[in-house]
Amino acid sequence: MECKTATVVAVHRERYELLMEEKTLYGKLKTSAFYNTSEIVEFPTVGDVVELVENPTGDSMILKVLPRKSVFKRLNATPGQPDLAVAANFDYVFITMSLNKDFHVSKLERYLTVAWQSGGTPVIILTKADLCVDRERYVDAVMRVAPGVDFYLVSSVTGEGFADLERYFTKGKTLVLLGSSGVGKSSFANVVLGREEMLTGGIREADAQGRHTTTYKQCFFIPKEIHLPDGSVLNGGGRIIDTPGIRKLIVSEAEQGMQVSFEDIEELAGQCKFSDCGHKSEPGCAIRAAIQDGSLDKKRWSTYLEMLREERYASERRKLMEKKLEKKMSKRKEYQEDSKLENEFMEYETFEMEMGEEVKEFAIIEEFKVENKHYVAAALVVDDTVSDEGCYLFRSKVIDNEICIEKIADKEEYEKVSEVYMAL
């Protein structure tokens, strides 16, 4: 079995579009490599380089994600699940904001934090310049919260500002577009790519909010020549990753990013009289003094506190996940010892079960005991891929030295087992 490498260029739910040299192929995750493991596994995202076993007649089998040089993650809304990787292995983070009511300083501060945390270099792209009549106000706001960060005013309609971005369109370099829905990411990508690759939508006049156009993450190669709407031509090259709009960016791991984005606040905190100052009523608090004299904006301080709480919450979630995984592996070991089949159960990954009029395939994702009886939690396998649409509980027994999986027929037993499993 020969292992090869490929780059993820698009993610379609449970199926991945891959590029191997100049060949396009598709792949799915190997169940045992990503679900039946003893550690938290990184799932592939756009830009990732993955190791796989090629299947010339169907979907290839993805075995693992290779180390990343950069990655942008956001908090997973599903409790107990790892953070979501949005894009990986990029060089520049193009933070895209439109010059209208959608522009918010606090939103920019959040994107700057995750950009610095990601390992890429942030670049601020202010779109829809052709519709803006008060540019100075936006420029002043950007310079105030992002000193030293390059920013550009552009228009996808007229081509204004794109010539200044030519140095980023370089062979071997990758840029990722991040921003809210409808701020012009897809229109920007269309200009750079020289074709209507991405669907675009208008803006609601009532609140200047954009409509979702990009529905999944995807990567494109930038052509050698970029033809702008005004007729001029730029040198091109490299890759561009477009991502779905993010309505509410909740930070995940962001300690390093906050140190850079809120360097002024970190420095002020170090000037407080007491090292454990809570910045509330303690004497000699440099933070409160700065807010009072106006050198520190109160809204900026509030954003900092909110993001600090989110980062700490995400950190606690990661610790709980690690404990749950450790508990899971401990129970698996206990099950193996009780059944005296230490190796067989680990190799038993999938099974078939009659469900109604159909026979469906399931993958075991966890084993546990209730009152000395053995049970398994399993997920449906669809097209050789483990589905994330809930799980099913079954009873397991050792009969004639073989593990047998059977349905839980008794309703009360199922409810009791379900309650125990949810508490794990």
Contacts of 112 (CB under 8 A, 6+ apart): 95, 122, 145, 146, 149, 257, 260, 261
Task: Return the SS3 of 185.
Answer: helix
**Burial of 177 (C-beta count, 10 Å sphere; 0-12/13-18/19+):** buried
**How far apart, in whole angstroms, are the C-alpha atoms of residue 419 and residue 413?**
10
Q: What is residue 208's predicted lDDT score, i.e. its pLDDT? A: 47
pLDDT tens digits, the chain, 424 residues: what are they? 688 999 999 988 778 999 998 899 999 988 778 876 667 788 899 999 999 999 888 899 999 999 999 998 877 666 556 778 889 999 999 999 999 888 889 889 989 999 999 999 999 999 999 999 899 999 999 999 999 999 999 999 999 999 999 999 999 999 999 988 888 888 999 999 987 665 554 444 444 444 445 456 889 999 999 999 999 999 999 999 988 877 667 666 777 888 888 989 989 999 999 988 889 888 999 999 999 999 999 999 988 888 888 888 777 777 777 776 676 666 656 655 554 444 443 344 678 888 877 888 888 888 888 888 888 888 888 776 677 666 789 988 766 556 788 898 888 888 888 878 776 6
CB 117 within 8 A of CB 76: no
CB 163 within 8 A of CB 153: no
Domains of the chain: 3-67 (2.40.50.140), 86-242 (3.40.50.300), 255-316 (1.10.40.50), 344-423 (no CATH)
Q: What is residue 404's predicted lDDT score, i.e. its pLDDT? A: 81
Could you tell me the two tokens for 104? 């918010």
> CB atoms < 10 A from the CB of 237, how many?
17
State the maximum Cα–Cα separation within the chain, in Å, rounded to a whole number: 80
Residue that has been written with the tokens 């990954």 in this structure: 349
Q: What is residue 204's predicted lDDT score, i.e. its pLDDT? A: 43
Estimate to the nearest angstrom the gap between the alpha carbon of 416 and the chain centroid: 35
Count CA within 13 A, CB hemisphere, residue 212: 9
| Bridge partners of residue 406, in order along the sequence | 395
Could you tell me the two tokens for 99? 């010059």
In terms of Cα–Cα distance, which of 137, 78, 72 is closest to 103?
137
Q: Which helix (DSSP H) or strand (DSSP E) does residue 332 occupy?
A: helix 298-339
Distance from first CA to last CA of the chain, Å, rounded? 37
Q: What is residue 320's predicted lDDT score, i.e. its pLDDT? A: 74
CB 203 within 8 A of CB 211: yes
Q: What is residue 83's predicted lDDT score, i.e. its pLDDT? A: 77
Q: What is the pTM of this model?
A: 0.70
Q: What is residue 216's predicted lDDT score, i.e. its pLDDT? A: 67
Q: What is residue 337's predicted lDDT score, i.e. its pLDDT? A: 56
